Structure 1
């Protein structure tokens, strides 16, 4: 699929403010199953310094510093991206599908951050452990069957709801509330995967669903590392294994580090801020590599999801 996406965020302030340092995760991934054809970022007021850096996840993010006061702040990213279907998981793994729970000591130490538990002492949320154990039942300890059952259980237990503000909930809260946004469901899957030794991380991006909705939103899903296949995307609020209609912006073991815009401002005690945002997307060319797909999961159809621009926003 070849697509063009325009993502605009506009902040307005009741009185002039000073903008602090900002971090932007708006540049789509340019490697793997996704190729970045064009990217343009405009910022008003113009930063005094704007520079790229490669994050720990390998994604390119941008940092900016500002000088002077302003009563508005606008960020517009225009991207043209080409995506393709990932190779079939069964063919990639052949007869080497990992058995679960996977021994952590056999994994590359670079993946350690994607195995840590949610609790401050590094242990896993008991609710996530229970969910993982349930998904293991009947999976014959096979990784792909475990992932399929995990997606099905999450979709059966948790009802999707839009939630535009606040960070992703931990597994225990999502299961207790029985409702959650796409980022909550993604974190639920991530925590359960880590409990059985599967490295997992949070992904922020776009899902260009069909039919085209009235309004596109940011979307969140999970990436799971499978030896022999590498990082592969799974959407627990969609169809499971992702296809070529997903566009990745940023990944991290910590969801807050994938926020589209993260920064701060300083002003008077009574200053008020207002945010308007829009995502416009156009598919320029459909399935570029139809017929070569990843493992299909049997689940309900995908629906447009929303994930807030999280973090300490102006």
Structure 2
């Protein structure tokens, strides 16, 4: 499926401000599941220098250094991408041991992806509890059966609702509120998987709709590492295993590190500012 994505963000300030350095994370990955044929990043005002970076997970990030002052700041990212069909893991043969906990001790690069989400490295007790429920009744503690049952439990316990402002919630808060945005549910799935030793990470990107909404927004889901299958995406707000309607931008253990734009400005206290965004997918 070939798509063109135009993502525009416009920041306005009531008086001119000085922009600090910004990090922009709007370039889609290019891999076996999605092929990026063209990417163009336009930034206004034009008084800036740009430096390409790679994140700890190998995703493209742009560091922008501004000079002078401005009362508006515009970012426009244009991507042309082709998504590929995702194979159904539940139908594929896998000779690896998929029983939980997964055997990943020999792969040191994965150890950090099973640490608890809390700052002290501990797992959220609410995530541990729902993980234990998902383990009940599955055969041989198989990771794929666990993921299927876990996502069904999450969908039964938490109602998806858009939330544009604020950090991702902890698993405990999402489960107690019984509602959550896509980033809240992605954190819940990520943390719950880590409780049983499944490497997982938070993903930011786009999801195409057969019937386009009035306004597209960024989406978030979870990638888990399964021996023999590698990193694969699962969306607790959708049907579970992701398909060719998804385009990944970046991934991280910390949801804030894959925000489309990170930066600040220097100006008077209580200065009024406004953000408007638009995502076109054709």
Give me the whole-angstrom Cα distance separating, in 1, the residues matched to 2:197 and 2:47.
Answer: 43
Give me the whole-angstrom Cα distance separating, in 1, the residues matched to 2:98 and 2:71.
Answer: 54
Distance 1:137-1:49 versus aligned 2 partners, 3 A rule:
same
Q: Please say if 1:124 is aligned against 2:98.
A: no
Distance 1:93-1:123 versus aligned 2 partners, 3 A rule:
farther
* TM-superposition CA deviations, 1:232-265 (whole Å, max 9, x none): 0000000100000101111111110110011010
Q: Please say if 1:113 is aligned against 2:105.
A: no
Q: Please say if 1:243 is aligned against 2:261.
A: no
Give me the whole-angstrom Cα distance separating, in 1, the residues matched to 2:146 and 2:163.
Answer: 28
Residue matched to 1:94:
94
* Greater alpha carbon shift after TM alignment, 180-189 vs 86-95: 86-95
> Are 1:221 and 1:233, in contact at CA under 8 Å, matched by a contact in 2?
yes
> Are 1:47 and 1:64, in contact at CA under 8 Å, matched by a contact in 2?
no
Distance 1:153-1:181 versus aligned 2 partners, 3 A rule:
same
Q: Unpaired runs of 5+ in structure 2?
A: none
Give me the whole-angstrom Cα distance separating, in 1, the residues matched to 2:8 and 2:89.
Answer: 35
Give me the whole-angstrom Cα distance separating, in 1, the residues matched to 2:113 and 2:170.
Answer: 15
TM-score w.r.t. length of structure 1: 0.87
Distance 1:92-1:65 versus aligned 2 partners, 3 A rule:
farther
Residue matched to 1:285:
none
* TM-superposition CA deviations, 1:52-109 (whole Å, max 9, x none): 1111111111111001000000000010111112233246552325101224524x11
Q: Unpaired runs of 5+ in structure 1?
A: 283-314
> Are 2:16 and 2:70, in contact at CA under 8 Å, matched by a contact in 1?
yes
User: How is 1:1-314 mapped onto 2 (pairs within 5 angstroms)?
Assistant: 1-90=1-90, 93-106=93-106, 108-140=107-139, 141-282=141-282
TM-score w.r.t. length of structure 2: 0.96
Give me the whole-angstrom Cα distance separating, in 2, the residues matched to 1:78 and 1:120.
Answer: 36
**SS of residue paired to 1:105:** coil
Residue matched to 1:296:
none
Count of paired positions: 281
In the TM superposition, residue 115 of structure 1 has moved relative to its aligned partner by 1.1
* Greater alpha carbon shift after TM alignment, 109-118 vs 226-235: 109-118
Residue matched to 1:307:
none
Give me the whole-angstrom Cα distance separating, in 1, the residues matched to 2:36 and 2:25.
Answer: 14
Give me the whole-angstrom Cα distance separating, in 1, the residues matched to 2:111 and 2:48.
Answer: 37
* Greater alpha carbon shift after TM alignment, 28-37 vs 90-99: 90-99
Distance 1:4-1:177 versus aligned 2 partners, 3 A rule:
same
Alignment RMSD (CA, Å): 1.3
**SS of residue paired to 2:213:** coil
**SS of residue paired to 2:96:** coil
> Are 1:92 and 1:229, in contact at CA under 8 Å, matched by a contact in 2?
no
Distance 1:215-1:112 versus aligned 2 partners, 3 A rule:
same
Give me the whole-angstrom Cα distance separating, in 2, the residues matched to 1:97 and 1:26.
Answer: 36
